[in-house]
Amino acid sequence: MNLLTLSLKNLQRRKLRTSLSMAGVAIATAALFSLLSFNTGFDRALQEEMANSGIHMMASTEGCPLEAASLALHGGEIPKFLDARRLPEISDMPGIRTAAGMLIFSLIEDEGKAIFFYGVGDNYRDLKPHWKIRGDWFTGPDSIILGAEAARVEKREVGDKVYFPGIDAEFTISGIVERTGSEDDGFFFLPLDTAQKVFKKQGKLTAVGISLANVEEFEQVKGKIETLPDVYVVTKDQIMQQISSLTGSSKTLMAAVLVVALVVSFLGVINTVLMSVFEMLREFGYMRCIGASPGHIFRIVLFETLLLCLAGGVIGAIFGMAFASVTDQWLHNLLPYAPAGRFILFDPLIIAASILFAALAGVLAGIIPGLKAAHASPMEAVRNV
């Protein structure tokens, strides 16, 4: 037996109180683990998605091309349009592998919910190589492809018809994109010509997604495209930065909630240990009688909080991993733009950092109760109660 095991056994004396405090630390650690994982996981997933999409740059019109490009990815209506005549001009440029035109429109349903329509050409599939379509690509001008979530909400299957009163148009579902975990899941894809006709934007495009045959020619191709009238080019990195800034407020909010959770759990641990110190003052007084120094008593209490927080930290990290898929799903629903793929993956460094943080909080939380206990005089043992 040593001071550490004595502290451990002290914790076992108040099982319920210890368990509740440990649960508080576990929740805070799980939240910390999720946030740290999210911060790295989001950027990784975004990079992977951009890499998978094959889009190296996007062309849009004057105004706010950066916003247009990012909205083209995560859904949103842009009031300025690119002349569709630019599409073949871009496609014919040397060094271009794919140039896919897009027209994006939103429709507000009776319930106030926005439906996003993507008018896309056949070569759009080249920018989505990871798509798995149940059914077929567009089979005619009145066909439509639904994202997995859109199909689920509309309760539609391949071959069903879907009518949109807002534009007074009916389409036949030729295919449903299997769940990607990205914004694509909620979109309605129309043939580009049909979209231009339905939304009365013939000869107009929202943006052109471009992939290059050779990435080393990036600057040359970009320069050439920008010589076209009213065309502005936004690079993949710029789009990623724009998307990251869109999620910035969500990240700030989550960080704020996390700070509150950490503070509450920290105070909870101090309160728990302080209560136990008050209850044990006479015992500490007795320990002083039998040779314990103030340093011994301080260490007993400090080890107690350290063990409590360390155990809570380990449990929290395990729970964080165990519920990673639930947290992932929640974050995908919460964020204004969520790239496909998992945010929270097993990362030993993040797990270690979360547990270390909990342990550090334990040491800090132990200082006040530890000092209080260390001041216990041997006289406490004989004090009348």
Query: Which residues sit at the interface with another protein, rule CB under 8 A?
Result: 1-3, 6, 9-10, 12-13, 282-283, 286-294, 296, 377-379, 381-382
Among candidates 351, 256, 344, 343, which has minimal Cα distance to 313? Answer: 351
Contact 274, 372 (CB under 8 A): yes
Of 104 and 287, nearer to another protein (C-beta) is 287
Q: At closest approach, how far in Å is the CB of 12 from another protein?
A: 5
Token pair 């001041």 is found at 375
Q: At closest approach, how far in Å is the CB of 32 from another protein?
A: 31
Q: At closest approach, how far in Å is the CB of 182 from another protein?
A: 53
Q: Across the chain, how many H-helices and E-strands are there? A: 12, 12
Q: At closest approach, how far in Å is the CB of 269 from another protein?
A: 20
What lies within 8 Å, CB to CB, of 72 at 6+ separation is 58, 60, 78, 102, 104, 206, 207, 209
Beta-bridge partners for 207: 102
114-120 and 188-191 beta bridge pairing:
parallel
Of 11 and 240, nearer to another protein (C-beta) is 11
Q: At closest approach, how far in Å is the CB of 153 from another protein?
A: 56
Of 290 and 349, nearer to another protein (C-beta) is 290
Contact 151, 157 (CB under 8 A): yes
Of 301 and 321, nearer to another protein (C-beta) is 301
Q: At closest approach, how far in Å is the CB of 295 from another protein?
A: 10
What lies within 8 Å, CB to CB, of 152 at 6+ separation is none
DSSP string, 26-67: HHHHHHHHHHHHHHHHHHHHHHHHHHHHT--EEEE-SS-HHH
Q: At closest approach, how far in Å is the CB of 26 from another protein?
A: 23
Among candidates 378, 374, 383, which has minimal Cα distance to 285? Answer: 378
Of 84 and 302, nearer to another protein (C-beta) is 302
Of 7 and 29, nearer to another protein (C-beta) is 7
Of 291 and 348, nearer to another protein (C-beta) is 291
